[in-house]
A = this chain, B = another copy of it.
Amino acid sequence: MKQMEEKILREGEVLPGDILKVGSFLNQNIDTEFLGQMAREIARLFENERVTKILTIEASGIAIAAAAGMSMGVPVLFAKKHRTSNVDGSIYSSVVHSFTHNEDYNVVVSSDYLNANDRVLLVDDFLASGNALRGLIDLCDQAGATLVGMAVAVEKCFSGAGDEFRAQGIHVESLALIESMSEDGIVFRS
């Protein structure tokens, strides 16, 4: 998505530790007009997949998932990062390792909201290590739901997880694919 690449070049900032700071428009201060554009592009990319549900993970995936859900006319389920008092009944749960915070956490959804009839599109802001998305795939498997693909705003191709998912036959769409990045510049996959 050309506009995403332009936006990253204009507003993004590469920080030490392979961090791409896009807080000015994507995952802290959200440019809602651009959010609508991203959502419509995701809806277009998966229009033939008969998606019944979008699954994301708190917190920074929620805005793009909600917008995509509005564009596609499907509900959006977000996995929580720990069990809270207002999720009762039975749950699906998977352990995820966060490189950012160097800790393990549980991703949890209520089994009330995900089932074997669902055709699930995973949506998140970033695809890097892929660990959070692997956790969401595990939740889909536990529910017996069909995974139809994943849509992310920004893929760090150099982390390898996106191509690993593709090699497994998963339909992966990234609105920007970063082949390499440093303080000197960002190279997108062509």
Contacts and interface: CB of A to CB of B under 8 A. Distances in A.
A10 to B, nearest CB: 15
A147 interface: no
A88 B58 contact: no
Is the interface on chain A under 10, 10 to 19, 20 to 34, or 35 or more residues?
A: 35 or more
A1 interface: no
A72 to B, nearest CB: 8
B75 A101 contact: no
Interface string A8-34: 000000010101010110011111110
B113 A24 contact: yes
Copies of this chain, complex-wide, total 2
Contacts of A74: 32
Given A28-B80, A29-B77, A30-B76, 5 more contacts: A23-B110, A28-B77, A32-B66, A67-B70, A85-B101
Interface of A: 15, 17, 19, 21, 23-24, 27-33, 35-36, 58-60, 62-63, 65-67, 69-70, 73-78, 80, 84-88, 100-101, 109-110, 112-113
